[in-house]
Amino acid sequence: MASEAHRSLNRPHHAAARIGTPRPSGQRRRMDSARALVLIVLAGCSNPQPAAPPAQPRDDSRKPPAIRTSNVPAIAPDIFERLQQYQNVRSASFEDWAPDGKSMLISTRFGTTSQLHLVHEPGGRREQITFFDEPVNNGRFLPDGSILFTMGRGGDEQWQVYRLDRKTGRAALLTDGQSRHTLGALNRAGTRVAVGINKPKERDTNVFLMDPKTGATELLMAVKGTDWRSAEWSRDDSKLLLLRYVSANESYPHVMDVATRALTPIPIPGGGKAAHDAMAWADDKSVWLSSDAKGEFQQLARVDLATMKYDWTTADVPWDVDAMEVSPDGKRTAYVVNEDGMSRLTVDGRRVELPVGVAGGLRFSPDGRRLALTLNRPDAPGDVYALEDGKLVRWTYSEIGGLDASTFVAPSRESVKSFDGTVVPFYVYCPKSDYRSADRDTRAPVIISIHGGPEGQYRPFFSGQTQFLTNELGCAVIGPNVRGSSGYGKTYLAADNAEKREDSVKDIGAILDWIAKQPDLDASRVCVTGGSYGGYMVLASLVHFGERLRAGVDVVGIANFTTFLKTTSAYRQDLRRVEYGDERDPKMQAVFERISPSNHADRIKSALLVAHGVNDPRVPFSEAELIAAKAKGPVWTVYAANEGHGFARKENRDYLTAVNVAFFREFLLK
């Protein structure tokens, strides 16, 4: 995840995977990253009753052994009991079709982490095939039925590539156990897979070709200090689409002749720079790609490789193309448009009506007849579907913890003008009207949940924690897309860069103003939560608007931009400097001194909960220690020795969610 939050749909093994920066607004990995982060940052609020709950016996036995805390009391048993059903809502996401097209490979959780499963027919049982303590990612089939996947250790994101032998059930490590590996494009014959490799303490990510059976590698593309990513092989396996990634606003597509290593850039219309995302072969002489070279949004174009002429397909659509897929024979196409956070699907040039929600993970079956996708609705967890003959067929039925689905809340879309006239969109989940009764306050307390990235986007995925907050606690949840968020054009995306960083914090001030004008929201009971860059936004909001905020929850957040940029993993430093600014520049260093929350921690007097994984390679654990030591208000900390950038293990995530509820009972309601 190149951004500070967590994952979106970056599916390099699909015919037109997202190859730009993964966006939390994207698909499943954010359905299960923004997975851990979404689950964490939306997990806290409190009972809207003005009185404290009755005294309860305290029991700390449910704290996982890898968790250490400070100032956190033993959690009341009723909190765990009330949360239990919501914490057992599951979701499923599509990974790959079996070579014969009869079965699907999916990811879901039945233990403490997400693992790979097979589903052999629509609505059929889920057959678990990996059984690890660590989350398993990026499953894909080889032609012989064996499966490649990646797995890290303790949240370190030093992903390794494994091959699962379906006959023996054993997984073999194919990589060195130390470098960071990202699975890219698998060739049609299944004999070579492109793998991005970032070696420890090095800045560049180079592309290697790996034998998926033995793990033997050969270097394909290496340029010092650059980040190269693979998209798709041509149908004869002679060429490979590559992208040189610079930032969310800048990337460069190329075609490589694998035999000769000849590299041909695909020119950007009009010159200059542009961002590119999906790439796929249309035929032997042309490619599909999404680019914002023509305007504000990522539009889909077919590029003739002989003339390099762009034929724009979605020029009249004022939204980003979010994903794209081509059938194995090249005869069918499908793409998704991200329309204000919701997905719009087009297949073979015709609009396909989907339930309101977020779609991703597109892939045609080997025979091209069916299109698999993951669909996550705001009022239903993510599940896997297949589109066949124009009909949407559901393959998985994820459990909802025995809850009544009719009680789930869907959000409304709102917006407000910020200090400079910029329109800031946001989603609002409000308790249903029948939640209110005569003995309850008529105004709902508010949780502002700020996404990471910063080039992320709050999209209305289903969250059991959000439903808990609205249905059980009567809270309203607001998911803002402050300037710097993706999905609203490249100008909006770059509107918080470098010295303009605090303009996005001012957008939170505008939302606080909006809350104060709503008759059903309680402006005196507001908290902010956020993960990663969203954690920085929480801390900055507490600095600037502390008198209007009772509390904040900072999950794996940035406390000081200078220390963060100096200590984040080497491969991320230059990427983050493009977004945040370069701390080695004296002028930018002065800006960081002015805006870093740790330098103004004496102004953080609201209650603060700080949660962090000790093994975080993105925002180092030292950022949590820095702000926790300096903040002047009450501070609770939750640190996990076996987690990284977010809490991926269910037992840790569940405990942190319970701590959130206890924290807000204590500091938001009393």
Distance CA 161, CA 210 (A): 10
Give the model's confidence band at 441: pLDDT under 50 very low, under 70 low, under 90 confident, else very high. Answer: low
State the average pLDDT over residues 466-483: 92
Looking at the DSSP bridge assignments, the partners of residue 140 are 148
What does the pLDDT read at residue 556? 97
Give the model's confidence band at 59: pLDDT under 50 very low, under 70 low, under 90 confident, else very high. Answer: low
What does the pLDDT read at residue 285? 95
Residue 43 has pLDDT above 70, yes or no: no
Q: What percent of the chain has pLDDT over 70?
A: 90
What does the pLDDT read at residue 424? 98
8 Å CB contact between 9 and 28? yes
State the average pLDDT over residues 204-220: 95
State the average pLDDT over residues 643-669: 92
Q: How many CA atoms lie within 13 A of 30 on its CB side?
A: 35
State pLDDT tens for residues 328-353.
999 999 999 999 999 999 999 999 99
Kindly list the distances between the CA atom of residue 46 and the CA atoms of 77, 151, 215, 514, in Å, as whole numbers in the listed order. Answer: 15, 36, 51, 21
Neighbours of 127 (CB within 10 A): 12
Residue 308 has pLDDT above 80, yes or no: yes
Residue 177 has pLDDT above 80, yes or no: yes
Closest CA to 265 of 285, 245, 241, 283: 241
State pLDDT tens for residues 222-273.
888 789 999 999 999 999 999 999 988 999 999 999 999 999 999 999 888 9
State the average pLDDT over residues 636-654: 95
State the average pLDDT over residues 418-425: 97
**Residue 205 per-residue DSSP state:** B
What does the pLDDT read at residue 33? 37
Confirm or reject CATH 3.40.50.1820 for domain 28-88+402-669, answering yes or no. yes
What does the pLDDT read at residue 25? 34
State pLDDT tens for residues 64-117.
999 999 999 999 999 999 999 999 999 999 999 999 999 999 999 988 899 999
CATH code assigned to 92-394 = 2.130.10.120
State the average pLDDT over residues 646-652: 93
State pLDDT tens for residues 494-513.
999 989 999 999 999 999 99
Distance CA 215, CA 193 (A): 10
Hey, where are the domains in the chain?
28-88+402-669, 92-394
